[in-house]
Amino acid sequence: MSHNHGSRCSGILLHITSLPSKYGVGDFGPSAFEFVDLLKQAHQTLWQILPINPTSFGNSPYSCTSAFAISPLFVSPELMIRDGFLEERDLEVDLEFSPNRVQYTSVLDFKISLLSKSYSRFSRRMDRDEYERFCVANSYWLEDFCLFSVLKKHFGTCSWAEWPEEIKSRKMVAKYIERFVGLIDQEKYFQFILFRQWAELQAYCCSNDVRIFGDVALFVSHDSADVWAHPEFFKLDQALLPVVVAGVPPDYFSETGQRWGNTVFDWDALRANDFRWWLERMKHNLTLFDLVRIDHFRGLLATWEIPASDATAENGHWQECPGIEFFSRLLKEFESLPIVAEDLGIITQDVKDAMTRFGFPGMKLLVFAFDGDPSENPYAPVNHVKNCVLYTGTHDCNTVRGWFEEEVSEEAREKLEEVLGKKVDLNTVAEEMVALAMGSIADTLILPMQDVLGLGSDARMNCPGIAENNWEWRLHHWSTSDVKKLAELTKTYKRD
């Protein structure tokens, strides 16, 4: 980042689902373009989002059925009408959508019904050139994903590991493609529309000097098109079920560790294939985004592998991964790697060395900055470095106001006030933390929208370890005065 731009900058973290819109979820439509205008007015040059792939479990953007596809949630009805893919009357529905929280199930059904209506018109039209070009350019993942999606509906919601042997092990793919050719074509069309709308938003960001900061979840779900299509790249048994699953060992957050349950990569097989699947994945993401955060970055150097039959993460072991070799291979493909390493938690020396070697900035969080001895705490302002991405908090943390109200220790509050040289209260803490972050030597600063607006814990995006009510928060309004205030702050601290 810094090595590409060599300058101080700042941006906002706001997932697309959180944008305002008439149809129950933020999408690639008018409110996204308006948000880019506001970013520009506020002198922000980065827009960070979460993964935009189709989700499979609990609406989490980190649990997806594909590492390549885009979720139909994001399709904009307005843009479909503008481009002639839908008619106004298609939107005359009796659904009442909440402006406050995303109601995933009803919204997804609605978006898919719109896409289906639009497809039945499209399939009667003759001008399919642009669509055909899209299908050819994306065939390396699109064919498998669309067949997978059709089969998921056909066999009910069960995992692909429970499909009939002939298609579970992909012996009869041709037979199923022939049988479902129309439905597969429809799924490809959905992706065509989604990628077309994304490309327009991307171009708009570019013309307004806003860079899009995307996110890659390291692991993929077992029940995904990727694992079904490429079982040889994952540690699976004869029945194509995971032998080991991913997680993290016991630590001070959890005495049994965390068992995430994701399938683990077979890096020997990936290496033997010149890392092709991963190269395609990174190329795909670097086409969609200007900058990419790799979630659980340390998992590229070693993975905590837990026997699949274990209920907790205690009996896992560290398995080394050829991260260095993989990044070197990536560098042959790309002149620069605009990658940010998510390096939160306990990070070993090998991970730090790899980040230094490739110049990947790590992350620093201000909500963690006031615990313990400031000289030892890597997040304390005195320990910030230029080549890092600083946050007040992330999508997994409480908002600054919520943190101050519900989580901050007496000691941490005193340290914060010592650093600021003044007392803070519930109504000023977010503003003070934002200003503190702005003044850091860190080249890049990302502010969650909730902290820019000083919102409380009811605006929190995700509570790790708690299954309900996550990923649902929505932005109402970013007022002109708030936009101006951020613009002035950004100028003051020379981040514009």
Between 139-154 and 276-288, two packed helices, what is the crossing angle to 10 degrees? 90
Let me know if 482 is a catalytic residue: no
| Catalytic-role residue among 396, 405, 417, 496 | 396
| SS3 of residue 7 by DSSP | coil
Let me know if 251 is a catalytic residue: no
Scan for tokens 């959905």, then name that residue.
190
* Structural contact between residues 145 and 68, judged by C-beta atoms closer than 8 angstroms: yes
Strands of the 9-13 sheet, one edge to the other? 339-341, 291-294, 211-216, 46-48, 9-13, 444-448, 388-391, 362-365
Q: Are strands 302-307 and 317-320 parallel, antiparallel or unpaired?
A: antiparallel
| Catalytic-role residue among 27, 215, 295, 432 | 295
Distances in Å between the alpha carbon of 374 and those of 371, 390, 393, 412? 7, 17, 18, 10
Rg (CA), the chain: 23
| Catalytic-role residue among 27, 305, 342, 443 | 342
Give the C-alpha separation, 318 to 333, whole Å: 29
**CA quadruple 388, 391, 394, 400: dihedral, nearest 10:** 160
Q: Are strands 258-263 and 244-248 parallel, antiparallel or unpaired?
A: antiparallel
Let me know if 90 is a catalytic residue: no
| SS3 of residue 262 by DSSP | strand
Q: Which residues are identified as catalytic?
A: 295, 342, 396
